[in-house]
Structure 1
Amino acid sequence: MSDEKFQVIIIGAGVAGSAAAYRLAKAGREVLVVEKGRAPGAKNMTGGRLYTYALEELMPGEWADAPLEREVTREIMMMMTPEDCVSIDSTFGSLEQQSYTVLRAKLDAWLAEKAEEAGAMIIPGSTVDGLIFKDGKVAGIKTGDEELEADLVISAEGVNATVAERSGLIRPVNLKDIAVGVKHVIKLSEEIINERFNTVSGKGAAVLCVGDCNRGISGGAFLYTNKESISLGLVVDSQSWKNSKLPLADVAESLKQHPALARYIEGGELVEYSAHLIPEGGFNSLPQLCADGFLLAGDAAGFVVNRGFTVRGMDYAILSGIAAAEAANEAIEAGVYTKSALKSYENKLQQRVLKDLGVFKKSHDYIAHSRHLYTTYPRLAADLMKNIYNVDGSPAKLVTGLVKQSISGKISYFDVFKDMLKGGRSL
């Protein structure tokens, strides 16, 4: 047993873990972060987009040097068939709350460095093999031949929270609550990106797609502009993917060939290819968030909301890191680390993170199980727009007639109404 004891040990140097470490170190606490990757950010992957209000809450006015890629000022939603695409393209001069595209290898390394500068100790390249228990309370971690003691352990180990799971603190992840993300990072010059997306340096676009991009599997595709690269990928519901029996690598590769997206990446160089699990079970699949001497934060806790047109996870991870640090500070001040004392963590999360997950608790079920969303509706949208713009000399019809013509024989009006009502109540 090591003679050294920390006040807090954090598992994982992602945005949740580093946010908690930064706040605790700023408060003068003795904090150790153990990171499995060779460096913070080395094994992290996301689409990715960060809503920067969370950084402002973490370090007010001090995040100006964060390695953000482009401010998102253009939002594009696509409904795709194998040949066609119908898009809603929205461009904004400015938004009240900023969001930026990010590359996690850069962002995580920067945030971990901020935590170190504040006084936290970070050990990369180390795997936590288990937790130490004393009298039923979590009292530290096991890593290799070492045992490191702590008053409190915060698990921010990501969606594969194997340490917490093997210790019996949370149940194993259920297939129905998990999505799989696959991402290509394609290098292009800043000038070409600006030209193709009709933007200027520092400004960029976020594209979210539904339909044939996933070959009928429940989920969607994304494209984000970085400074000198494009992040292009897809997210699929695990159960739907399993049932489809389609090789996911082939689906991801075909995405790059779709005419609606291929024009954006033409001539680019593939510089990164990665895949990652995403917790999408939402409110109804949340594990216990605290135990004696233990807190769960970020993706490990399942703090992700996918509404189809927005996907949020990193901002919730940062907020959970802040809340975990505040709860830990209170516990240290009181010298009490019982589950009941740490319940203040859940109370802090309830103000926004848990509140949002509760509001959108039906979103995953709607997105994963609305069978027409990925096949019928994109085709209807494409057929309708073709009918609207088609001029062939035949008698013209009102839009209402064209809508009926597009829907007739493909889906009942009652099914359309049900899906619209369910979507409005879920998203």
Structure 2
Amino acid sequence: MIANADGALERRDGVDMKNVKRTIRLGALGVAGILALGACSQGSADTDADEGDVTIRFAWWGNDERAEITNAAVDAFEAANPDITVETEFIDFNSYFDRLATATAGGDAPDVITMGGAYPREYGDRGALLDLAEVSQWLDLSVLDESALANGYFSETQYGVPTGANTFGAIINRDIFEEAGIALPDEESWTWDEFADLAVQLSDATDSDTYGAEDPTAADMLDAYLYQRTGQGLYTEDGTLAAPAEVITDWFTLTTQLRDTGGTPSASLTSELSTQTAPEQSLLGQGRAAIGFGWSNSIGALRDASGDDIVLARLPGDTGEHGSGMWLQASQLYTISSGTEHPEAAARLVDFLVGSTEAAEHIGTDRGIPSNPEIREFLAAEGLEENTQIEFDFIERVSGFVDGHFVIGPTGSTETALIVDRLNDQILFEQITPEQAGQQFVDEVTAAIS
């Protein structure tokens, strides 16, 4: 079975179907398709033990490199579990959740589903995910860090298993700082005003193709900025929006000034880059920005793509009165469909992926720093390459001062990132003012999560 020209699946004679990994092809409906889940959910899975040979499906988002290492881990699982065949499915992040919504609403969800962000709550609260307590005899969660497990626990139910820890922080290209003759920021004290000044200085001291900073606007960035300013991120524990319009206005005022002073790229370049999600496509990945913001597990890809000395640092403004705006978050979560016909096989696969050294040998830290201490020790003993060591060290340092705050976004909050991107484009192209954007953000996100 291979993909034809439009991505649909075809069977070709002579192919050994037992070992084929097939590429996801689920159609397109959009996040709105999840709304149908409440009506069409197949309910709780039959958690009796599987008997005989079974086939399950495992889906994730990513590129060909991730597919190669994941399929290698799956091959190891199949070798250890010859009664289980795993068909794997993957697609790029931008398309993944739209197509997953289509499949789930149609009763054709994969057995093991990779989740992230607010999606676990959206799917779990609508009955599309299995309560993992039902498969505890095959899935041992006691070996994982308790703080990491909290990422998959909501509505008094454990729905997800963290693949690894991750954090959102500042990303610094030390080579560009050295080229510009400008000292690195002191991450223990730098403020957002100092960041803005640095961005302008760096742009002025380098060639016209290099910028002091990438445009920093993103939903994750606003979450951290709000926590720094107010002591509360985007959402409250009871699922309401916690963002004051005036703080969102302050953020967009900052980014507008950065655009106007040349600290960040033009509106057209920022808008173009916003549609290119691969690390190597970013200004950081091209070695054309001195400062950016993103997730710690992107550091290896950025260093490899740029060839530059890129490191991780605390966010500006992170030592204010409300404490750190940074947090440890599951990079991704493995979940099991409530409609799976093979809960034992699905649970055994998840247990293998997060708890076996055989899987760790292939996956490593691709899905974050492992949440299983034994796996972390195994990887460290095996020896970490330089990029991974940088991430390991940063996660260890961050874990010493973050206060553990973590609120999973309520149902509808997956729209927030789209709202932020659209408003940011309108601001950058001077179609609306920061004040208008602040109020529109509050109004639109409130409507989305109501």
TM, length-normalised to structure 1? 0.25
Higher relative contact order (CA 8 A, sep 6+): 2
Which structure has the larger Rg over C-alpha atoms?
1
Of Structure 1 and Structure 2, which has the larger fraction of its residues in strand?
Answer: 1
TM, length-normalised to structure 2? 0.24
